[in-house]
Chain A
């Protein structure tokens, strides 16, 4: 069965460190998204990609970057982790253009001390 995997599932890091969260999908979907989930804010879009070599900023992109070198992976990098980036991070995919259903990974819980 097709799936989305995220790693690690839990991460504790220190302020100022660089952190990379992995997202790997076997749906063969063109569209990939990174969200953060915080109490009272729902899901907020960080970055997204509509295909290989394409990346775009979402509403809360400051301090984060992504790269898309193949269809399957969209790693999310926190350049210099801050306590405000403590959150649960979700990767999601969708098949193509139009108002498509999104498929979510299980999430990564990140704590920045």
Chain B
């Protein structure tokens, strides 16, 4: 079945550092890919998404490119801020799974001032 694997955390960075959180997926169809973010005490919210190969999703300085050849959707940000401290979830949804969303285990990011 479909699955999502993302790098284990926690990831600890200093403010203004470069961020990469790796995400790879397994899917039988042609999934849409998502990054969700969860701030402390809140539910998840969409950060960005891409619906087909080579699409780049972007939002709030974060970017991720849908790479079909490597089945990856890595999250990047050029300069993180303390306010980016949160848990980040990679996810996929495709027709083979009835369009249910499959989430990775989440990666916790701590950004130090």
By a beta-carbon cutoff of 8 Å, the part of chain A in contact with chain B is 4, 33, 35, 40-43, 45, 48, 58, 90, 92, 97-107
Interface size class of B (residues with CB under 8 A): 20 to 34
The distance in angstroms between the C-alpha atoms of A103 and B100, with both chains bound, is: 13
By a beta-carbon cutoff of 8 Å, the part of chain B in contact with chain A is 31-32, 34, 36, 41-46, 49, 51, 89, 93-94, 99-101, 103-106
The distance in angstroms between the C-alpha atoms of A105 and B49, with both chains bound, is: 20
- A90→B103 contact, CB < 8 A: no
Which chain A residues lie closer than 8 Å to B31 at the CB level?
99
Task: Find the A residue at minimum CB distance from B1.
Answer: A59
Which chain B residues lie closer than 8 Å to A33 at the CB level?
100-101
- The residue that B99 contacts in the complex, of A42, A98, A104, with Cβ under 8 A, is A98
- A107→B46 contact, CB < 8 A: no
Which chain B residues lie closer than 8 Å to A97 at the CB level?
99
Closest-CB distance, A103 to chain B (whole angstroms): 8
- A42→B44 contact, CB < 8 A: no
